[in-house]
Amino acid sequence: MDLEYKQEDIRFREEVRQFFQEHLPKELSEKVRNRRHLKREDAVRWHKILAGKGWIAPGWPVKYGGTGWSAMQRHIWAEEYALAYAPPTLSFGLNLLAPVLLGFASEEQKQHFLPRIYNAEDWWCQGYSEPGAGSDLAALQTRAVREGEHYIVNGQKTWTTLGQHADWIFCLVRTSTEGARQTGISFLLIDMKTPGITVRPIIMLDETHEVNEVFFDNVKVPVANLIGEENKGWTYAKYLLGHERTGIAAIGNSKRELKVLKRLAKRKQLDGRPLLDDPCFAARIADTEIELMALEMTALSLVADGASSKIGPEASMLKIKGTEISQEISQLLLEAAGPAGQAFDPQYLKGEKEHCASGDDDLAALAAHYFNLRKITIFGGSNEVQRNVISKMILGL
């Protein structure tokens, strides 16, 4: 395993940095830096800039618009992306659905959907979870009954992230009730404009509209929108989840946030001393940094072994550790900010006014950020469930 950066990697990092300096709109990076809410048009604008450069889908095969970068280059890209405060890309289409399409869809489906994802023509959302099916996803009950060349879909999805913006939803639906629960599930693409679909917002504690309930009432979906084989959807679903979990580890983001934390901990508190002078607090930062370095080494060794796209216990390991570290940093940030970090100014966060009430624009979202990050140990399969996955795959328990 060779973890040294090669000359070409160093040159690549420079090229990426320069691109961000020249092409990432300042107003977008400032929004990300101050943790303010991004709008649909912000996300689409940035997506199109990356697509124009040919860098929107690094993990895809070159034939469909991928960059052909090595795994190490992709790692560097992700790190520089976070450091530049670039807005997140439209992940549901690019990073979750696309691998499933590439692996299991017909050539016709690939030719139709992949370019539309690439060019931000379709905004996708994920229809996996249901009120009675989260960790136990195979309990899902949304039914798709075949009638000629259509499926008739009835049921409900929940926690559908950004479904209010979506043009399409990829859904797990039940097409059979015979045999094991996993063998009666199919993977269906549904146009959100189809009659019978209702999207109802779930408003979060911090007043954001991030998640939704989606209801299907006799929704008519062409059989041509089935991915792969009927009743084989569980295989595709698990494949997709592996990609989701690896992405949630967010190592680049944590490295960036750790820098912010160290800067903040050097600021003087009300008693005139910086929190970094407190040996206990300094030790907590050091512990977190060591954990993060260990996580990065693990991720890099997977990259070096060419195993970064392997969907196994590695994805669960990265998810657990990455999310725990992100949460710990958010806790330390809040403590380091002191009273200024307690501010909550939703109008500022939503972009309805230029500056926050407290005057500390960079700290105004820390509390909301702290609470919002509680979700990351839940979604993409909760961390408790990831521990079960690891024990099953490695220990055979």
Is 378 an interacting residue with respect to ligand FAD (CB under 6 A)?
yes
Contacts of ligand FAD in 281-340 (CB under 6 A): none
**Residue 372 C-beta: closest distance to ligand FAD, Å:** 8
**Residue 289 C-beta: closest distance to ligand FAD, Å:** 27
> Distance of CA 174 to CAs 128, 135, 161, 230, 232, Å?
11, 17, 21, 10, 11
Is 384 an interacting residue with respect to ligand FAD (CB under 6 A)?
yes
Given a contact cutoff of 8 angstroms between Cβ atoms, the answer to whether 213 and 157 are in contact is: yes
Query: Which part of the chain contacts ligand FAD (CB under 6 A), choosing from 4-12, 57-65, 267-275, 374-382?
Result: 374-382
Nearer to ligand FAD, 55 or 159 (CB): 159
Largest CA distance in the chain: 75
Nearer to ligand FAD, 255 or 321 (CB): 321
**Rounded Cα–Cα distance for residues 313 and 157 (Å):** 27
**Residue 248 C-beta: closest distance to ligand FAD, Å:** 11
Q: What are phi and psi of 173, to 5 degrees?
A: -130, 155
Among 99, 134, 155, 341, binds ligand FAD (CB under 6 A): 134
What are the residue ranges of helices labelled H in the chain? 7-23, 26-33, 40-53, 71-83, 91, 98-104, 107-118, 233-248, 251-265, 279-304, 313-337, 346-349, 366-372, 383-390
Cα of first residue to Cα of last residue in the chain, in angstroms, is: 30
Q: Which residue has the tokens 């949630």?
A: 248
**Residue 355 C-beta: closest distance to ligand FAD, Å:** 28
Contacts of ligand FAD in 140-159 (CB under 6 A): 159
Total residues contacting ligand FAD by CB under 6 A comes to: 18
Is 247 an interacting residue with respect to ligand FAD (CB under 6 A)?
no
**Rounded Cα–Cα distance for residues 75 and 246 (Å):** 12
Is 223 an interacting residue with respect to ligand FAD (CB under 6 A)?
no
Is 252 an interacting residue with respect to ligand FAD (CB under 6 A)?
no
**Rounded Cα–Cα distance for residues 261 and 227 (Å):** 44
**Rounded Cα–Cα distance for residues 258 and 33 (Å):** 13
Among 23, 110, 375, 390, binds ligand FAD (CB under 6 A): 375
Among 84, 250, 381, 389, binds ligand FAD (CB under 6 A): 381
The C-alpha angle 292, 298, 303, rounded to 5 degrees, equals 125
Is 211 an interacting residue with respect to ligand FAD (CB under 6 A)?
yes
Tell me, residue by residue from 73 to 112, as one string, x for binding to ligand FAD by CB under 6 A and - for no binding: ----------------------------------------
Nearer to ligand FAD, 77 or 128 (CB): 128
Is 181 an interacting residue with respect to ligand FAD (CB under 6 A)?
no
Query: Which part of the chain contacts ligand FAD (CB under 6 A), choosing from 142-150, 282-290, 345-353, 383-391?
Result: 383-391
**Rounded Cα–Cα distance for residues 161 and 59 (Å):** 22
Nearer to ligand FAD, 68 or 132 (CB): 132
Is 160 an interacting residue with respect to ligand FAD (CB under 6 A)?
yes
Is 161 an interacting residue with respect to ligand FAD (CB under 6 A)?
yes
Among 81, 85, 124, 128, binds ligand FAD (CB under 6 A): 128
Is 248 an interacting residue with respect to ligand FAD (CB under 6 A)?
no
Q: What are phi and psi of 212, to 5 degrees?
A: -145, 165
**Rounded Cα–Cα distance for residues 144 and 189 (Å):** 12
DSSP result, 320-361: HHHHHHHHHHHHHHHHHHGGGGG---HHHHTTSSSS-TTS-T
Given a contact cutoff of 8 angstroms between Cβ atoms, the answer to whether 394 and 386 are in contact is: no
Binding site for ligand FAD (CB under 6 A): 126-129, 134-135, 159-161, 211, 375, 378-379, 381-382, 384-385, 388
